[in-house]
Structure 1
């Protein structure tokens, strides 16, 4: 059983397999062909910047730098690789002058087609804006927007320093920070965008500005929740903190009540002589045997552990990510919990319930940040197709229990899809984190402490075959619609939509407080009256008066 469940560590995994060269020969986003405007923009970039522009061919291995298969399938008209903020400024004016659509790539970890790769437009790849400069006083680290978080941690770790950054080493700084940026240290330090002292930004008019809460308080506010609508960020000056060893890792728990839940929903598997049927039966017997030995918990017990963590110990060093997942190879639903503590202290009191419950496999140990993110990298295999959606709720054990039933009901009918691995990922937005939203005049989310703690849900499905897109997306949509409807019925709904987990049919700005959305629109009118950064980035989340997801829907993953 141990060998079998070592594969379970795929449970918090999202992503997949390399794309064939044949896919690079034609655009795979229907209805969006290389316009004359974009061809002219690419030609102009090539004349101006020479080797910094790849046109008409693309850089070797370019598609493989993206996390999701959907992004890998996008074919831009050209790729521009700036080496300085001045390059970005000049390129933006060329692109704007030709009215060509574009996308900005930091690490390429967004899952939706078009999010950071412009179909038959200009993709601005920031990979060479990868500086990591630590100030002499060790209080600030300047990080280029194209830097990946693993590089940042490797630079700071020997000095016992860290910043609030990504939990996967391959994620780029740019999109992560602008989307909010939940870190392994966020309960203590806040989210990434609230730990930025200064943003170096190319604005819509081409000017290069340094934005802080004292120099430009309106833009500083807008960059903490407004996404990519206010400029192309080229550098983040990040608060830097002392940090030694961590304790953490992943623990895996079996569930004793899944069969009963399936039966209550009418999910049965008639007898037939197929390998799949025998896998289901042997897995069920294996789970029953493990449960008799005390290695199982119920969904309700797991939900109570998470609820207890959210309201219990006020230990800002403890962070949890909890996932309900289905593992097709062994036909088992189980729980994966990522525990992380900012001190090298095994099982501090904040995690006492998770220590008491028997697990079937654990990777917890004393380690460095690089060790933790390497483990996440190992789980997050790149190159798969992805379907994500997100929502935020108030916390309730009965609600969590019903969520799992909906998850089973919507994933079980499609569990034989190639490469299928669905995860219902749950995180707590703690009151500690929400209190940090007030730093430097407050960010744009408009969430107050009396609204917390909150439950952040990410329904993430990975799979392999484009032929299954509709089937998977429909299942994900049904799950999210049912989850939101249930939350409203139980009085547990909340407006917030976390940008870094949202798909491009979700209106993330409807999730802000109404007054903050209006404030963002006013700032946009002052600094980008032509809405260049929203209008010409159709794959990004666009700030506008009313929800118009027509263009975003074209890029739905």
Structure 2
């Protein structure tokens, strides 16, 4: 889960008051765990503890399950603060056998007296935030699904339903409290460390550990929601409505969606579905009229509080292995339908894979969402054109067995590369890859403007000159050298 940070300390230890340098990876991990346990007691979970397995596997994707040497669960920023001295010949290991820093105990949410902002600690999930905000008639730009964690979404950019008016999650963060790789705690905002403030907006976990986010609270007590499903015969009209929605979603009405087409391996059924949200109480929400005009198998419209909506949307946890893979393109219904048809046909190539759960996802990126960053005086690292809307087409695939991992990766990557090339030839392609929809074989930073990536690396080297988060924190996407 995003409330955990795989900060690998197999060749070092961390504590707020001391540095320990060791000369062996295995003994380094043991030393780190021993020192942490001596200092923090019950906040350290060792491999023989009854709660170890539950914490080590608290991820929705089974492929993320690894075996750390111990798990440290700090309760505040002082306990997070790290000082790491690692000999260069021992650059660390993966989290197997290392120290997993789990931020689950840091769950404070504080709403400002004027209700304009709130402070949130990194152990929260977005459903916790919405639950805290709803009694005050407030909402926030955060995760669309129930169990998405706060820090992961904020640091990679953050899709929400209402981005066309309010921008991405990162554009709604006003301040960060950050622990740097040398243990220093800094406040990061538009006037304090403004270069790092910009870099954190899409820079992922390359700079430090964020122990508090200050986020804009929106006075939105109610949202109008729609859940619609369709038969396979509706796919052409469904994709046409998706492309139209992507290209024509101006910010006068805040609205957005989760749009997908799912294949059922058991029945062979294809099910297009829409989860739509619009600000306010107009029901059914008018922004989804093109979808509502398609004959459906289900059309459920409601006016709900944010927590009533988000508490329903709980993705499966630890049910299967998962691979994302995505590319970005300009809205074009003809080409998008061809990409879908190719995906559907390619399912025959993996039809024998046990536990196959494939979904074709279409995430829309309205041009106005990028405009928020262009006008807030800060910007973000993505550098998107605010005159162009996009669609991210994603292959989201689940399966049962580790023996099929490589096969499923190759299946998705081959298909993805082919259609991206076709889109390039038609001048429909964007090189942008959203981290939240990316496969582990993809490099999202390669799709950022080159000058932004260079600037991000320079900022990283200023705030983390020893490369703590480059060398020892192997999780997530890295900026490179």
Residue 82, structure 1, aligned to residue 74, structure 2: yes
In 2, the alpha carbon distance for the partners of 1:100 and 1:235 equals: 29
Unaligned runs of 5+ in 1: 1-32, 103-113, 257-296, 546-557
Q: Would the alpha carbon gap of residues 345 and 96 (structure 1) be closer, same or farther in structure 2, given more than 3 Å must change?
A: farther
Unaligned runs of 5+ in 2: 1-23
Question: Which among 247, 258, 265 is matched to residue 328 of structure 1?
Answer: 265
Which position in structure 2 is the counterpart of 1:251? 228
Give the conservation status (yes or no) of the 8 Å contact 1:313–1:349: no
Deviations 1:221-259 (A, max 9, x none): 110011111111111011111012212132111122xxx
Structure number having the greater helix percentage: 1
Deviations 1:339-381 (A, max 9, x none): 111112123432111111111123332222223223321x545
Give the conservation status (yes or no) of the 8 Å contact 1:326–1:421: yes
Deviation at 1:149, TM superposition (A): 1.1
Deviations 1:421-450 (A, max 9, x none): 111111111012110122232111111213
Question: Which has the higher mean CA deviation after the structures are superposed, 356-365 or 222-231?
Answer: 356-365
Give the conservation status (yes or no) of the 8 Å contact 1:148–1:170: yes
**When the two structures are superposed, what TM-score results if normalisation uses the length of structure 2?**
0.89
Q: Would the alpha carbon gap of residues 336 and 83 (structure 1) be closer, same or farther in structure 2, given more than 3 Å must change?
A: same
**Does the residue aligned with 2:231 lie in a helix, a strand or coil?**
strand
Structure number with higher relative contact order (C-alpha < 8 Å, ≥ 6 residues apart): 1
Question: Which among 242, 254, 261 is matched to residue 317 of structure 1?
Answer: 254
Which position in structure 1 is the counterpart of 2:402? 466
Deviations 1:280-331 (A, max 9, x none): xxxxxxxxxxxxxxxxx242x2222112212335243121221122112321
Instruction: Give me the CA root mean square deviation.
Output: 2.0
Deviation at 1:173, TM superposition (A): 0.7
Give the conservation status (yes or no) of the 8 Å contact 1:38–1:101: no
Which position in structure 2 is the counterpart of 1:386? 322
Question: Which among 109, 119, 135 is matched to residue 158 of structure 1?
Answer: 135
Deviation at 1:526, TM superposition (A): 1.2
**Does the residue aligned with 1:417 lie in a helix, a strand or coil?**
coil
Q: Would the alpha carbon gap of residues 397 and 240 (structure 1) be closer, same or farther in structure 2, given more than 3 Å must change?
A: same
Give the conservation status (yes or no) of the 8 Å contact 1:43–1:55: no
Deviation at 1:524, TM superposition (A): 1.4
Residue 54, structure 1, aligned to residue 82, structure 2: no
In 1, the alpha carbon distance for the partners of 2:184 and 2:356 equals: 46
Give the conservation status (yes or no) of the 8 Å contact 2:172–2:216: yes
In 2, the alpha carbon distance for the partners of 1:409 and 1:516 equals: 39
**Does the residue aligned with 1:67 lie in a helix, a strand or coil?**
coil
Residue 63, structure 1, aligned to residue 53, structure 2: no
Question: Which among 283, 301, 305 is matched to residue 346 of structure 1?
Answer: 283
Deviations 1:259-298 (A, max 9, x none): xxxxxxxxxxxxxxxxxxxxxxxxxxxxxxxxxxxxxx24
Question: Which has the higher mean CA deviation after the structures are superposed, 42-51 or 157-166?
Answer: 42-51
Which position in structure 2 is the counterpart of 1:221? 198
Give the conservation status (yes or no) of the 8 Å contact 2:284–2:301: no
Question: Which among 137, 142, 145 is matched to residue 168 of structure 1?
Answer: 145
Give the conservation status (yes or no) of the 8 Å contact 1:197–1:238: yes
Give the conservation status (yes or no) of the 8 Å contact 2:56–2:68: no
Question: Which among 455, 472, 484 is matched to residue 391 of structure 2?
Answer: 455
Q: Would the alpha carbon gap of residues 185 and 312 (structure 1) be closer, same or farther in structure 2, given more than 3 Å must change?
A: closer
Which position in structure 2 is the counterpart of 1:477? 413
Residue 93, structure 1, aligned to residue 30, structure 2: no
In 2, the alpha carbon distance for the partners of 1:342 and 1:371 equals: 14
In 2, the alpha carbon distance for the partners of 1:416 and 1:375 equals: 32
In 2, the alpha carbon distance for the partners of 1:149 and 1:120 equals: 30
In 2, the alpha carbon distance for the partners of 1:180 and 1:454 equals: 15
Question: Which among 146, 153, 156 is matched to residue 123 of structure 2?
Answer: 146
Which position in structure 1 is the counterpart of 2:35? 44
**Does the residue aligned with 2:133 lie in a helix, a strand or coil?**
helix
**Does the residue aligned with 2:369 lie in a helix, a strand or coil?**
helix
Give the conservation status (yes or no) of the 8 Å contact 1:34–1:77: no
Which position in structure 1 is the counterpart of 2:337? 401
Residue 371, structure 1, aligned to residue 308, structure 2: yes
Deviations 1:34-64 (A, max 9, x none): 6332222222222222221123435342234
**When the two structures are superposed, what TM-score results if normalisation uses the length of structure 1?**
0.78
Give the conservation status (yes or no) of the 8 Å contact 1:392–1:457: yes
In 2, the alpha carbon distance for the partners of 1:403 and 1:63 equals: 37
